[in-house]
Amino acid sequence: MSYSIVPANLAVKAMRDNGYKNAAYAIAELVDNSVQAKATTVEILCEDEERRARVNVTRQVRKIAIVDNGEGMTKDVLQKALQFGNGSRLDDRSGIGRFGMGLPNSSISQARRVEVWTWQKDINKAYYSYLDLDEIEEGQLSEVPEPIQGVDIPAIWKTRSKILSNSKHGTLVLWTELDKCDWKTAKSIFSNSEFVIGRIYRHFLLSNKLKIRMADFFGNRSSIESTDEFIQPNDPLYLMPNSRLPTPWNSEPMFEKHGEPMILQAHKGTDVFSVKITFSIAKKIARSGYNPGAEKHGKHAANNIGVSIVRAERELELQKGWCLGYDPVERWWGVEVNFPPALDEVFGVTNNKQSARSLEEISHLDLDQIAERNGYESARDMQDAWRMDKDERLILVEVKAAIEKNLSTMRSLIKQMTANSKKGASRYNVGESPELKGTQLTKIRQGEGHKGTSDQSEALPPEQRIDSIQATLAQAGIENESAKDIARNIVVSGTKYEFIAQHLNNTSEFFTVRPNGGTLLIGLNVDHPAYDHLISLMEETPPDEGVNDLRARLSKAYDALKLLIMAWARYEDELPDGRQKELTQDIRSGWGKMAREFLRDE
């Protein structure tokens, strides 16, 4: 008795769980084949069937067809295309294919049967073949059936497809017995697929190299049809307009480029290839308002968080390992890393084209950890050695360093923009605001004879005070027009305190205090960890936040407050006994008395 090294029925069962995240990514594999076959149009067609439960009629997807107007396949190529690990482009680095797993793997990840018709000159002479898991598991099918001509394409698809009615060449892939598809209706497949597929092929869609049409229907009932539209580009960098966003972002980009794209050189053997990194940051107007994250455009951006990894103009994934957990800042920046297929092994591209594992792995490590793992004393030693040896892995480290450097800058800019954009005139008329409460308490202290440095400027002419405050705000990075408005509101309302978010890179201070124009300008250092752990954490409420998320945020803020107090305690503890320690303890006592007054509820 002979035994196969890998029994076909068991191997196919294992391959069904080949890592496709959902139906959208499985469909994308077939779109890849269409693009590789020089298709300009692809159709995703779904047939629903009626499910009756008493008086209600529900829909459930029954079949999915992917049709293209590509070059079509010969008889031999079709047979190879249905064979796992085979294909006609296994060594082709010029396009988005080459792995030889797309058609069979993606199909059986969703359905138990896949049928293929393909033609190159005459649709009536299309070649037909199939794979059927029931036949494979029962031992009836051990080889890819030899393609035959004369098997008619079902009339329903000819009726619904615009390609099949006039294309002299193309391919139809039909999935039936959809036992692994998580989305049960055509509507849910489309609503979820449109976002993902629009992002994966955004560069092709924007340049009109490719159109992707979606349509669904109830069997032969042409009167009920809920979807028939073309997928629009979904750019996580928001440098392309998006038709799904509200005005003005449906006709103009919501973000702008952060600097010019970086071009890094990658070595592979004796060849050199370019890796392009593009950075983007939300425009000021997109971040305006009390809670822009809760608006439609903010929620859309929240679903596009991460670093977009693009191979041959086709996105592999959004890597979230670069993000700082939950932080509203993360939705307002974009990064795209674009590299050619020649660097697949360097970046660790998987055969289902859903990940670049090598880059993802180092996103969780710092450079010294990477150096230690590779036997170097420091990151600099490792980089110098790899540069001298033209080590292929050097590009991963350089990409990591470029992303982290620019993310640090963009996050600081977004925090500053967020804090300073909330200073509308209406805030100065709210009696419960901390600034006005502090002002009222300060006036009481002034009446008791307490004097501050800032009090001396209160008697200056209003316009002189406004100009002085405006100049200081502008130095802190606030645009002149906004600085003028804020300064005027401060003077007119008599507000004694104003918070400014700003960069204080050359100091370890969490905040600064500057008397100016009769007010106290308090600069919050967005580059200090305390800003992330307290101010930024509590400033913007996430949309649709659950109770557990709220508790987690409050717990993190509470922990940060305790750590701040502990830092003071340790600072005081390390001071040598003597005058300096006594002065520090006096400062703590004096600040405590002032805090007690400012925090009294009455």
Task: Answer yes or no: do 482 and 338 share one domain.
Answer: no
Task: Answer yes or no: do 41 and 118 share one domain.
Answer: yes
Q: What is the model's pLDDT at position 216?
A: 86
Ramachandran quadrant class, 359 (left: phi over 0; alpha: psi -120 to 50; beta: rest): alpha
Q: What is the model's pLDDT at position 425?
A: 43
Task: Answer yes or no: do 543 and 433 share one domain.
Answer: yes
Report the alpha-carbon distance of residue 192 to residue 75 in Å, rounded: 34
Task: Answer yes or no: do 407 and 430 share one domain.
Answer: no
Q: For a pLDDT cut of 90, what percent of the chain falls above it?
A: 50
End-of-domain residue from the set 414, 433, 455: 414
Task: Answer yes or no: do 491 and 579 share one domain.
Answer: yes
CA distances from 586 to 441, 450, 510, 572, 581 (A): 22, 18, 21, 11, 9
**pLDDT tens string 524-553:** 888 888 888 888 777 666 655 677 878 888
Asked, for residue 236, whether it belongs to a domain, the answer is no
| Residue 357 domain boundaries | 255-414
Task: Answer yes or no: do 41 and 176 share one domain.
Answer: yes
Q: What is the model's pLDDT at position 430?
A: 46
The CATH number given to whatever domain includes residue 115 is: 3.30.565.10
Asked, for residue 242, whether it belongs to a domain, the answer is no
Task: Answer yes or no: do 377 and 510 share one domain.
Answer: no
Contacts of residues 361-364 at CB distance under 8 Å and 24 or more positions apart, as own/partner, are 362/396, 362/397, 362/400, 363/307, 363/319, 363/321, 363/322, 363/400, 364/321
Asked, for residue 1, whether it belongs to a domain, the answer is no
Contacts of residues 25-29 at CB distance under 8 Å and 24 or more positions apart, as own/partner, are 25/106, 25/196, 25/352, 25/354, 26/106, 26/107, 26/109, 26/110, 27/64, 27/66, 27/106, 27/193, 27/197, 28/196, 28/197, 28/200, 28/201, 28/353, 29/102, 29/103, 29/105, 29/106, 29/352, 29/353
Asked, for residue 436, whether it belongs to a domain, the answer is yes
Q: What is the DSSP string of 510-531?
A: SEEEEEETTEEEEEEETTSHHI
**pLDDT tens string 57-78:** 677 889 999 999 999 999 999 9
Report the alpha-carbon distance of residue 508 to residue 503 in Å, rounded: 11
Tokens of 494: 């008599």
The pTM score is 0.76
Task: Answer yes or no: do 438 and 366 share one domain.
Answer: no
Report the alpha-carbon distance of residue 62 to residue 181 in Å, rounded: 10
- Answer for the pair 542, 549: CB distance below 8 angstroms, yes or no: yes
Tokens of 411: 């996050």
Please check the confidence at residue 6 and state whether its pLDDT lies above 70: no
Q: What is the model's pLDDT at position 253?
A: 96
Helix (H, G, I), strand (E, B) or coil at 66: strand
Helix (H, G, I), strand (E, B) or coil at 18: coil
Q: What is the model's pLDDT at position 405?
A: 92
Asked, for residue 235, whether it belongs to a domain, the answer is no
Report the alpha-carbon distance of residue 341 to residue 36 in Å, rounded: 13
Mean pLDDT of 406-413: 90
Asked, for residue 496, whether it belongs to a domain, the answer is yes
Mean pLDDT of 182-192: 85
Q: What is the model's pLDDT at position 349?
A: 92
More confident residue, 332 or 432: 332
Task: Answer yes or no: do 408 and 498 share one domain.
Answer: no
Asked, for residue 239, whether it belongs to a domain, the answer is no
Please check the confidence at residue 47 and state whether its pLDDT lies above 80: yes
**pLDDT tens string 197-253:** 999 999 999 999 999 999 987 765 544 556 789 999 999 999 999 888 998 999 999
- Answer for the pair 224, 216: CB distance below 8 angstroms, yes or no: no
Task: Answer yes or no: do 267 and 338 share one domain.
Answer: yes
Q: What is the model's pLDDT at position 87?
A: 54
Work out whether the CA dihedral 238, 239, 241, 247 comes out positive or negative: positive
Q: What is the model's pLDDT at position 78?
A: 94
Task: Answer yes or no: do 447 and 392 share one domain.
Answer: no
The CA R_g of the chain, rounded to the nearest whole Å, is 31
End-of-domain residue from the set 396, 414, 432: 414
Report the alpha-carbon distance of residue 562 to residue 565 in Å, rounded: 5
Task: Answer yes or no: do 368 and 408 share one domain.
Answer: yes
**Per-residue confidence at 393, pLDDT binned at 50, 70, 90?**
very high
- Count: domains in the chain: 3
Q: What is the model's pLDDT at position 294?
A: 81
Q: What is the mean pLDDT of the chain?
A: 86
Asked, for residue 398, whether it belongs to a domain, the answer is yes
Q: Which residue in 255, 174, 210, 178 sits closest to 69, CA to CA?
A: 210
Q: What is the model's pLDDT at position 99?
A: 46
User: Phi and psi of 523, rounded to 5°?
Assistant: -90, 120
- Answer for the pair 41, 163: CB distance below 8 angstroms, yes or no: yes
Q: What is the model's pLDDT at position 553?
A: 80
Task: Tell me the residue ranges of DSSP E strands in 109-254.
Answer: 113-119, 127-132, 148-149, 170-176, 211-218, 228-230
